[in-house]
Homo-oligomer: A and B are copies of this chain.
């Protein structure tokens, strides 16, 4: 089978591609080729991968990729929240037009082409005030352009699926923790930073109260969601094609307690509390807890606990250092 991955150079895209290459099959079928696409050409040292770079807001680029008739498409490409907020045009071009072009390119292939399309959406489709927990029938009222673009992508995905043009499933990812790599300036960055930096022997700043509760999943869980979405029986989903993925609802205090359990008091002591009212205000508008019943019924599985998220991160870093 042939697989197309849009957004293959991102953190999740790389992990997904690596997982597919390592497994070698999907739904029991041998993976012959992976078209790995991103704005910058992704680098994979594997003969099965054909990498390319380009702009998905250009319909001709998308048409070329879809003309190869991949059996499976993962659409992970997006301008992220902060950038879509700062650059209104760029966010709509890539996140709305790009997604719409992809759906149109598939449709234009004709009646004999009906690929599975896995679309990564986000809990940013929801906006405060929330019900607690947020259920599967809560309205989409995003408070960012990114969230609006993802919510629109979900509506298009459902309609193109309902009309029989493709077999779409949207998965709303929780905040991914622990993100590897350097600290970034995203308002959500501290959720990873307070674990990642102390484990590296570095100080991390905690800008909010330990009472702050959030909805998180590990990078490995995110890859697991994508693979399950690619292989599950979508018929039982009915017309509602986007699902909130099961995460862990944890407080910052619980995260720190888990870090202390796993890595010791000395590591946990590297977290410096320094409240930042700007970040506190942003975080106060984020969802805290979901009951992801539909996803659980469909077989998606959350991380078992925050301890295992930390241990998986430590193991990943160890593997990275050795490779």
Contact = CB atoms under 8 A, between A and B. Distances in A.
A145 interface: yes
A131 B137 contact: yes
A139 B138 contact: yes
Given A148-B156, A152-B152, A137 B140 contact: no
A294 B151 CA distance: 22
B140 A139 contact: yes
Contacts of A88: 163
Given A139-B138, A240-B141, A158 B163 contact: no
Contacts of A145: 159, 163
Contacts of A138: 137, 139
* Copies, count: 2
Contact of A159 (B142, B158, B239): B142
Contacts of A162: 143
A155 B148 contact: yes
A148 B139 contact: no
A155 B131 contact: no
Nearest to A162: B143
A10 interface: no
A53 interface: no
Nearest to A159: B148
B140 A239 contact: no
A88 B155 CA distance: 15
A155 B139 contact: no
A127 interface: yes
A193 B138 CA distance: 36
Nearest 3 pairs of A and B residues by beta carbon: A148-B159, A148-B155, A152-B152
Given A142-B155, A151-B155, A152-B156, 4 more contacts: A88-B163, A143-B162, A152-B152, A155-B155
25 contacts: A88-B163, A127-B239, A131-B137, A136-B139, A137-B139, A138-B139, A139-B139, A139-B140, A139-B240, A140-B155, A141-B158, A141-B239, A141-B240, A142-B155, A142-B158, A143-B162, A143-B239, A145-B159, A145-B163, A148-B155, A148-B158, A151-B155, A152-B152, A152-B155, A152-B156
